[in-house]
Chains A and B, each alone.
Chain A
Amino acid sequence: MKTGIKFGTLLLAATLLFLGPAISMADHHEEVSNPDVKCLKCHSKNLKKKLEDGETMSLRIQVDEFGTSVHQVIGCTGCHRDVAKGKHPSKQPIASRRAYSLKHNQTCSQCHEAAHDSYKGSVHASMVEHGDAEAPVCSDCHSAHAIQTRTSYEPVNGEPCSTCHSDINDAFAQSVHGLARTEGNQLRGEHVNAPSCAGCHNAHDISAVTDTEYLVPKCMSCHEVAELAHEQWLPNAGMHLKSVGCAACHSPQAELRVDLQLFDRLKQAPVRQNENNGTVQETLAAIDTNGDGLDPVELWKLVRQINEQDETIDVTLLGRLEVTNSVDAHRLAASTEAVRSCESCHRGNAEPFQNVTVSMSRKDGRKESFKADSRVLNSAMSVDSVGGFYAPGGTRIKVLDGLLILALLGGLAVPVVHITLGKILRKKTGTDNK
C-alpha cells in the first residue's frame, strides 16, 4: 500500500513534470497549434546556444508573444523549414546573432515577396549590403516571433522606427503632425490622418531622406494646395519649392545649410557615385588639398575636372537650402509659425548661407557631404561652377558690388570732371561767362 502510494505519487509527479509546460501553454495560449507545442516544450525554457563569435544566443521563445502574433497560424515550421521530424538544426553552428538574422531575412521573402522586393531597394537594405551591422533586417522592425498586424504600427509611439530613431521620434511627437495624431487634427479636421513615419517614408521602400526628389512630392501628396498657396504670395514659388526643403521654412527653429549637389545638366539628374568617380570623400579630398573645406577656386577645379574626365556629362552644382540635421526636419510647426520673412535669406551674410556643403549621391540615394567655404556662394569664380544656385541679395557676388560702386562714382565723377574741365578751359581761353 505504502509502495503503491509512493508509485502513484511518483507517476503523477512525472506526468506533471513532462506535461506541465504543455498544459500551462494550452491553458494560456490555446492559439498555439499542437505541433508548435512540441517545439515550445523545449524553446519555452531558458535554452541557449553558444555562437561561433563567442556570444551566447537565447533560444527561448516568449510563448505568450508568439501565441498572439499573426504568425502563430503558420506555426514554427512556417519559417523554420529546416526543422522536420527527425531533423533539427541544433548541431549546426551559427556564426553570430547577426548572421542568423540575415539568413532569416531571406526566409520572410518566401511569403512576403512584394514587401521584400520593396525593402531591397531601400536605404536600409543598402546599409545591410554595405555591411552596416546596425542596419535593420526584417526581424529588427517586426521582431522574430512577436509579429503584429500592420495596424499595430500606426500609433504615435513610433514603433518600430523609434528603436533606432528615438531622437527623431521625440521631435516628431511634438511636431504639428505628431500632435495631430495624439490630440486630434485641429487644422484639417479629424477625418484627415496626420502621417506617422511610414506615411512619409513608406514602410519598406524607405528612400534616403536626402534624396531631394523624394520628400517634397511626399509633402505635396497630402498638402495638395500647398503649391497654389505658395504661389499666392511667394515670388518664384515654383523655384522655391524646388530648391528649398519644406522643413527649411516649416521648422522655424532649425539650423540651415546650403547643400550644393553635383548635378548633370545633360541627364537632368544628380551625379551618383559610380566606379569611375570613386568615393566622394576621395574625389573631393583630392581637390581640397589643404583640408579646410572647398574654396571657390577648388570648387571650380572640381567641376572642371569632373567634366574633363567624362565627356558624357555636364556637371554643375545645384543648390538646395535644407535643415542641417534630421531631427529638425521632423520638428515641423503649424504653417502659421513658418518662416515667411524673405529677408531671413535674402540679406547679405544671411545665416543659412554661412554653412555650405558639397555633396554627391551614393548609389542608394544617400548623400555624402563635404564641407565647403561659404565664400563659394559669393565668389565670381562660382558663376559657372555653382550655376544652379543663387539667392538674390543673400548670395550676391562681391565683385559686382565693387563694379556698382565704380558705376556710381563714375556717374558722379563725369559731371564733376566735365564741369571742372570747362572752368579750366574757359579760364585758359578767357571765354568764361561773366
Chain B
Amino acid sequence: MTTPNATQGSPGQTHERVYLHAMPVRIWHWANALGFLVLILTGFQIRYVDLFSLMSFETAVHLHNWVGFAVIANWFLWFFYYISSDKVTNYHPDFDAPNFFKRYFDQAQYYSQGIFKGDKKPHDVHPHDKFNPMQKLTYQFVMFITAPITFLTGLMMWDVARFSGLINAVGGIRVVNTVHVIMFILFVFFMFLHAYMGVLGPKPSSHYKEMFTGWEEPHE
C-alpha cells in the first residue's frame, strides 16, 4: 500500500506526483457520492411524487432513511479518520483572514481567467494542504455545517414521535423540514458545481482519476 513518503513522487516523471487521497478517503468519497445521489433522487421522489414516479413514495422514504443512516455513519468514518490522522490539517481553518481571502480571490481569478490563459495554479497541492482556499471554505461549510444540519433534521423527521421534544424546541416539524429542504437545495447545487469543478484539472478526467488512484495526475 501507499506510504506517506510516496509523496516524494516517482522517478522519471516530469512533474512530481503527489499521493493526495488515501484509500479510506477515496472509499469514503465515492460511498458518499453514491449516498448523496440516492438521497437527492429519493428526496426528489418524496417531495414531488405527483410530478414523477420512479418508485413509490413508501419505497422512496424507506430508501431515503436507510441510505441516510449509511451516509451519517460514513460521515463519522470520515471524521474519525481525519481527527486521528495528520492530514486533518486539510480542514484546519486559516486564521490569517486577510491572507486567506487574498488567496481566495487569487483562486477565483484563476478559475475565471487564468485557467483559460494557461496560468500557473495559485495553489500547490500537498497531502496535508490539498484544498485551495475556495475548496477549503466550501468543504468546511459542507462537512461541518450543511451535512450535520441535514443529518440532524433528517434524523428528527425519520421518527418525529421519538424526537418530538427536540422538534418542539426548535420550532416544530415545519421548521425542521424547511431547514432540511434548504440543505437539500444547497446539496443539489453543490453536486452540480462539484461535478463540474472535477473536470477543471490538467485533463477533464484528471481529478476523477485522482479520486480512484489517489495520485495526483501529471500536469501537461
Residues of A within 8 A of B (CB): 233, 235-239, 241-242, 265, 268, 316, 342-343, 346-349, 380, 382-384, 386-390, 392-393, 396-397, 400, 403-404, 407-408, 410-412, 414-415, 418, 421-422, 425-426, 429, 431
Contact = CB atoms under 8 A, between A and B. Distances in A.
Shortest 8 CB-CB distances between A and B: which pairs? A387-B172, A411-B192, A238-B161, A239-B160, A347-B50, A342-B57, A407-B189, A348-B50
Given A342-B58, A387-B174, A425-B117, A236 B161 contact: yes
Contacts of A242: 161
A235 B172 contact: no
Contacts of A393: 46-50, 57
Interface of B: 46-51, 56-58, 61-62, 65, 111-113, 115-118, 157-162, 168, 171-175, 177-178, 181-182, 184-186, 188-189, 191-193, 196
Given A384-B174, A418-B196, 6 more contacts: A384-B171, A400-B182, A403-B185, A421-B112, A421-B116, A431-B116
B47 A408 contact: no
27 contacts: A233-B58, A235-B58, A236-B160, A238-B162, A342-B56, A342-B58, A343-B56, A346-B57, A347-B49, A348-B51, A349-B50, A380-B178, A382-B174, A383-B174, A384-B172, A386-B174, A388-B174, A389-B173, A390-B177, A392-B47, A396-B47, A403-B182, A403-B185, A404-B188, A411-B192, A412-B192, A431-B118
A390 B173 contact: yes
B52 to A, nearest CB: 11
Contacts of B191: 411
B46 A346 contact: yes
Contacts of A348: 48-51
A415 B196 CA distance: 6
B175 A414 contact: no
A238 to B, nearest CB: 3
B181 A400 contact: yes
Contacts of A384: 171-172, 174-175
A429 B113 CA distance: 11
A411 B46 contact: no
Interface centre among B65, B161, B162, B175 (most CB of A within 10 A): B161
A388 B50 contact: no
A150 to B, nearest CB: 38
A389 B162 contact: no
Nearest to A408: B188
A400 B178 contact: yes
A343 B49 contact: yes
Nearest to B187: A407
A392 B50 contact: no
Nearest to A347: B50
A235 B59 CA distance: 10
Contacts of B181: 396-397, 400, 404
A340 to B, nearest CB: 9
Nearest to A243: B160
Contacts of A237: 161
Contacts of B188: 404, 407-408, 411
A233 B65 CA distance: 13
A373 B65 CA distance: 33
A387 B178 CA distance: 10
Contact of A431 (B117, B157, B175): B117
B185 A422 contact: no
B41 to A, nearest CB: 13
Nearest to B165: A268
Contacts of B162: 238
Contacts of B65: 235
Contact of A414 (B51, B178, B193): B193
Contacts of B160: 236, 238-239
Given A342-B57, A400-B182, A425 B116 contact: yes
A233 B61 CA distance: 11
A410 B189 contact: yes
Contact of B193 (A316, A349, A386, A411): A411
A359 B65 CA distance: 34
A426 B191 CA distance: 27
A380 B174 CA distance: 10
